[in-house]
């Protein structure tokens, strides 16, 4: 019998970048200290880097963030002050994907689906080390002159998976590939910039105008009228268009981006991709998705709970043969409805369908 996972805290953040950050840091004080300790151990085991060495690596990214997105640099300083840690500790959390060259094994499955002319479904399982599960938080961020952001994030991190009041949503799939370029945007900063945008086109232009991202990653981005799979790398980007089912589905390897050197690393990624594609197409063909109100539940039950090829399944399971710090599993599932007439998301924290997951949390939650 699984014990239920505790529901993450819900933060409402507003004001200047510094005020947003300070409130974040204060409210998630203990979680941020926990994050630094967990990531310190992960950097040590996976990359042979001490936390001092990690801070040194973070300096270059700090300069990039300050130059390209000064408001987010200020927000990170606010988080550091609120949590009583150093700025470079927070920068390191926000560019952990870059510093490690993708040596942390995230495994995630994401999909977008054209529900109607002005409606998109955007969903994913986020897989990572279970050690950070207790440091997840729901965030609502209100900034002057920008859409309100609703996201599921790790404590201390400024951009992640979620949507905004302009109907833009983001999902993330980690890719492991060389090179990594510290003068370009960290992926979590890029995610936040997408969530500050007013359309998919606006987000793409913003990332391009700032010089692109520093590591290889896939952002699945959608608004109510379009979706794109952004296969991003420091050496060039490729944009994936929806297939004949109106879907973009992605796991943890590039499908079309050949600009970078990507060794095969997660043997289960192509298997998961084919499985998610098969299950999603069966759902669409079955007509069960015609009933609008059950769409999130059906995707959770019929796609995101799937255990085929476990532990590297769509619903990721811990591989008990690996040392604890190197294990991953699904930590939450989100299904977003990007529809101006019915905007929102359903989130369960934990592995969907396992009995351990939280009750469904609706976003916005008030």
Q: What string of pLDDT tens digits covers the 366 residues of the chain?
A: 467 899 999 999 999 999 999 999 999 999 999 999 999 999 998 889 999 999 999 999 999 999 999 999 999 999 999 999 999 999 999 999 998 765 666 679 999 999 999 999 999 999 999 999 999 999 999 999 999 999 999 999 999 999 999 999 999 999 988 899 999 999 999 999 999 999 999 999 999 999 999 999 999 999 999 999 999 999 999 999 999 999 999 999 999 999 998 877 788 999 999 999 999 999 999 999 998 899 999 999 999 999 999 999 999 999 999 888 889 999 999 999 999 999 999 999 999 999 999 999 999 998
Within the chain, which residue ranges are assigned CATH 3.60.60.10?
109-363
Pairwise CA distance, residues 355 & 334, whole Å: 16
Angle at 338 between CA 225 and CA 200, to 5 degrees: 50
**Amino acid 252: pLDDT:** 94
**Residue in this structure with the two tokens 């805290």, named with its chain if needed:** 9
Q: Where in the chain is the domain with CATH 1.10.10.2120?
A: 10-99
Q: Phi, psi (5° rounding) for residue 219?
A: -105, 120
Q: What superfamily does domain 109-363 belong to in CATH?
A: Penicillin V Acylase; Chain A (3.60.60.10)
Helix axes 70-83, 29-47, angle to 10 degrees: 110
Give the tokens for residue 117.
Answer: 């002319």
pLDDT reported for residue 196: 98
Distance of alpha carbon 92 from alpha carbon 104, whole angstroms? 14
Strand 149-154 and strand 136-142: the pairing is antiparallel
Q: State pTM to two decimals.
A: 0.97
Contact 346, 155 (CB under 8 A): no
CB count within 10 Å of CB 343 equals 20
Assigned fold of 10-99: Arc Repressor Mutant, subunit A (1.10.10)
Residue with tokens 């492991």: 176
What are the beta bridge partners of residue 154?
136
Q: What's the alpha-carbon Rg for the chain, to the nearest Å?
A: 19
Contacts of 172 (CB under 8 A, 6+ apart): 108, 110, 124, 126, 160, 161, 187, 191, 217, 218, 219, 220
């Amino acid at each position: 019998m699984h014990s239920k996972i505790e529901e993450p805290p819900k933060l409402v953040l507003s004001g200047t970048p510094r005020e947003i950050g300070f409130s974040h840091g204060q409210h998630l004080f203990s979680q941020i200290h926990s994050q630094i300790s967990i990531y310190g151990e992960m950097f040590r085991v996976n990359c042979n880097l001490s936390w001092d060495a990690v801070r040194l690596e973070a300096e270059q990214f700090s300069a990039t963030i300050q130059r390209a997105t000064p408001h987010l640099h200020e927000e990170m300083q606010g988080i550091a002050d609120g949590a009583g840690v150093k700025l470079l500790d927070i920068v390191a959390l926000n560019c952990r994907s870059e510093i490690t060259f993708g040596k942390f094994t995230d495994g995630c499955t994401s999909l977008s689906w054209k529900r109607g002319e002005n409606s998109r479904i955007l969903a994913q399982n986020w897989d990572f080390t279970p050690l950070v599960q207790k440091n997840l938080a729901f965030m609502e961020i209100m900034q002057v002159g920008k859409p309100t952001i609703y996201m599921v994030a790790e404590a201390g991190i400024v951009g992640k998976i979620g949507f905004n009041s302009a109907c833009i949503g983001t999902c993330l799939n980690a890719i492991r590939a060389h090179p990594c370029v510290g003068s370009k945007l960290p992926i979590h900063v890029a995610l936040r910039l997408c969530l500050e945008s007013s359309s998919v086109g606006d987000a793409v232009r913003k990332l391009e105008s700032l010089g692109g991202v520093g590591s290889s990653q896939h952002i699945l981005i959608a608004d109510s009228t379009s979706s794109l799979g952004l296969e991003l790398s420091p050496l060039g980007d490729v944009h994936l268009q929806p297939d004949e089912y109106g879907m973009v589905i992605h796991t943890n390897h590039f499908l079309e981006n050949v600009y970078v050197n990507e060794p095969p690393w997660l043997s289960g990624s192509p298997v998961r991709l084919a499985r998610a594609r098969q299950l999603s197409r069966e759902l669409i063909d079955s007509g069960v998705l015609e009933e609008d109100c059950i769409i999130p539940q059906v995707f959770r039950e019929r796609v995101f709970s799937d255990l085929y090829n476990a532990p590297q399944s769509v619903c990721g399971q811990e591989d008990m043969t690996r040392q604890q710090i190197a294990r991953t599993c699904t930590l939450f599932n989100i299904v977003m409805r990007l529809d101006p007439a019915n905007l929102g998301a359903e989130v369960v924290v934990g592995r969907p369908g396992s009995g351990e997951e939280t009750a469904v949390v609706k976003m916005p939650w008030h």
